[in-house]
């Protein structure tokens, strides 16, 4: 396959400026060469060119003879706008694959596919897509991209040639959330389970849970910082006491904790006093007379 990669901006127009002062053109050139490296490693022919800007002229190399042509850019606006978007004119699957690849790698806001027939790279050169990886004047976007620019380049390259990414298993952070990729390449979702020797909860989106909440009708306690199950006593904001086992699951009914027996209601709250005339606890909730 022959692939054209056009590095956005150049000449008298360096593009937008990142919050660190780095111009867009410097980033597109670096990204273009990284993408080319992965495409060439897969046996493809790659042309990397620089868009030529001047006061009265703008020129992009023709895609003639190339199977795929993409233009690389980065966004900038007001320091607050954020996310990834891919522009196109005549829709091809390349655009949607590239957008999915970048989103799955960076985890930034997905601004989607946008039709822009007015852009030169489309109406004059019929490129497959124009990629806006992130907003480089947004600190979070820029820092996230710089930390993963090699991974992003590989993801874009594989999306262009429609090759699945082989994703190693392990922890992944996207934005403010943590996820766990299993050995089969899928994310752990909507379940409780062990990762190594520690117990965790993952919601329906695959996000690691933290705090005290119900799962399948039972309260669990997981650390907000690490996501690991928390064992021990816990006092709610309204003063109710609960006890969670090593898997973070709330104690229910009569339970021994150490040498002492306690009674918890069906929601996991410690019961204190006299119950059913046969069960009596002291002021700490310890059972002093059982059934």
- Per-residue pLDDT band for 52 (boundaries 50, 70, 90) equals low
- Per-residue pLDDT band for 62 (boundaries 50, 70, 90) equals confident
Span 99-118, average pLDDT: 92
Residue with tokens 């054209």: 4
pLDDT tens digit sequence for 77-107:
999 999 999 999 988 899 999 999 999 889 8
Phi/psi at 136 (nearest 5 deg)? Answer: -80, -10
> Residue 133 has what pLDDT?
98
> Residue 67 has what pLDDT?
96
Neighbour tally for 259: CB within 10 Å? 6
Contact yes or no for 45/53 (Cβ under 8 A): no
CA–CA distance from 34 to each of 68, 72, 86, 212 (Å)? 17, 12, 19, 44
Question: How big is the chain by its Cα radius of gyration, in Å?
Answer: 28
Query: Which residue spans of the chain are classified as CATH 3.40.630.40?
Result: 2-160
Chain CA centroid to CA 128, Å? 26
Query: Which residue spans of the chain are classified as CATH 2.10.270.10?
Result: 174-289
Percent of all residues in the chain with a pLDDT value above 90, rounded to a whole number: 69
Contact yes or no for 70/4 (Cβ under 8 A): yes
pLDDT at 167 over 90: no
Q: What is the mean pLDDT of the chain?
A: 90
Span 148-174, average pLDDT: 87
pLDDT at 276 over 70: no
CATH fold of the domain at 174-289: left handed beta-beta-3-solenoid (2.10.270)
Domain 2-160: assigned CATH number: 3.40.630.40
Contact yes or no for 214/205 (Cβ under 8 A): no
């Amino acid at each position: 396959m022959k692939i054209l990669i056009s590095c956005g901006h150049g000449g008298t127009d360096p593009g937008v400026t990142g919050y660190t002062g780095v111009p867009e053109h410097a980033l597109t050139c670096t990204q273009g060469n990284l993408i080319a490296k992965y495409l060439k490693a897969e046996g493809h022919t790659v042309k990397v060119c620089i868009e030529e800007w001047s006061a009265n002229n703008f020129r992009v190399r023709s895609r003639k003879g190339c199977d795929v042509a993409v233009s690389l850019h980065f966004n900038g606006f007001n320091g607050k706008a954020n996310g990834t978007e891919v522009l196109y004119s005549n829709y091809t699957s390349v655009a949607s694959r590239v957008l999915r690849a970048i989103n799955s790698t960076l985890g930034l806001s997905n601004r989607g596919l946008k039709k822009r027939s007015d852009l030169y790279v489309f109406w004059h050169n019929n490129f497959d897509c124009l990629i806006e990886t992130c907003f480089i004047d947004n600190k979070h976007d820029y820092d996230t991209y710089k930390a993963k620019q090699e991974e992003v380049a590989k993801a874009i390259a594989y999306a262009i040639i429609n090759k699945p990414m082989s994703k190693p298993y392990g922890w992944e952070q996207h934005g403010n959330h943590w996820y766990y990729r299993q050995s089969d390449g899928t994310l752990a979702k909507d379940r409780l389970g062990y990762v190594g020797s520690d117990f965790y909860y993952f919601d329906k989106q695959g996000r690691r849970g933290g705090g005290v909440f119900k799962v399948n009708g039972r309260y669990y306690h997981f650390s907000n910082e690490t996501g690991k199950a928390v064992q021990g006593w816990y006092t709610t904001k309204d003063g109710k006491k609960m006890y969670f086992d090593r898997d973070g699951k709330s104690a229910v009914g009569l339970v021994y904790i150490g040498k002492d027996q306690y009674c918890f209601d069906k929601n996991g709250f410690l019961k204190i006093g006299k119950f059913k005339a046969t069960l009596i606890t002291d002021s700490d909730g310890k059972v002093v007379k059982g059934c």
